[in-house]
Amino acid sequence: MRTKILVFAVLAFALILSACGPTTINQEAQPITRTLNVNGLGSTNLTPDIAYIYIGVHSEGPTASEVVSANKAQTNAVLDALKKAGVEEKDLRTTNFSIWPTQQYSPEGVATGSTYMVDNTVYVTVRDLDGLGDLLDDTIAAGANSINSIQFDVADKTDAVKEARTKAVENAKVQAQELADAAGITLGEIQNISFYDNSPYPVFDGKGGGGGYAAESAVAIQPGQLTISVSVNITYGIK
């Protein structure tokens, strides 16, 4: 009886060892996916048809009430000039109104009093670029003494962006086929595609003079052209 129990224990221990031993699974190696990645570029040029300008009035005076009153009258004159030039109410937006004092000193360094300064800035959308130069002349004559950051744009860039994307994709296709031919491979289906739009805008920075300014001709403004650029990244499978 004791011998049978010993034999059974040895068999059970052998089974446990075999269960804990390494297990071999017959797996086939997965095929390596071969791809070709290319970047395509496309661009379209547009003539601007709209402009955005910051036009403002800077005033200085001995008291806050006096300088605010003077600035208000001068700013209203500028706004009237803009409206007479054809700018609508919806295209006029105040972006800054600020007032602050500055301490004045004598040559000996003794404080002599304060001068108050006021800035009132309006963000103007101009939809008639042919009259932009005359508009600037009129606003300067009305009292605008701070004009800067003229930014040109195109109101509707939808078709231009589509055209640039199409050109970018075609450019990527040509590159991919040329590379495939040179390498002696055959292109498969597109595995992945992504794109990035890049539309920089040219900016003209300038400043006007104060009220009473007169010019023999309109301010010379050249909008130039805008370039709509698109970059496309395409990944092809290789057969």
Give DSSP secondary structure letters for 46-65: E---EEEEEEEEEEEESSHH
In a domain, 172, yes or no: no
DSSP assignment of 216-228 equals SSPPP-----EEE
* Exposure on the CB side of residue 60, measured as CA atoms within 13 A: 8
pLDDT of residue 224: 80
- Tell me the H-state helices in 85-184: 132-142, 158-183
In a domain, 218, yes or no: no
d(CA 171, CA 169): 5
In a domain, 178, yes or no: no
Range of the domain at 83: 48-154
Q: 86 φ, ψ to 5°?
A: 105, 5
CATH number of the domain at 65, please: 3.30.70.2970
In a domain, 52, yes or no: yes
In a domain, 90, yes or no: yes
- C-beta of residue 123 within 8 angstroms of C-beta of residue 110: no
Q: How many domains does the chain have?
A: 1
pLDDT of residue 29: 63
- pLDDT tens per residue across all 239 residues of the chain: 544 444 444 444 444 445 555 555 555 666 778 999 999 999 999 999 999 999 999 999 999 999 999 999 999 999 999 999 999 999 999 999 999 999 888 888 778 888 999 999 999 999 999 999 999 999 999 999 999 888 999 989 999 999 999 999 999 999 999 999 999 999 999 999 998 887 654 444 443 443 333 334 466 777 888 889 999 999 999 98
- Tell me the H-state helices in 42-151: 64-84, 132-142
In a domain, 232, yes or no: no
In a domain, 160, yes or no: no
In a domain, 162, yes or no: no
pTM of this structure? 0.67
Residue 106 burial by Cβ neighbours in a 10 Å radius (0-12, 13-18, 19+):
exposed
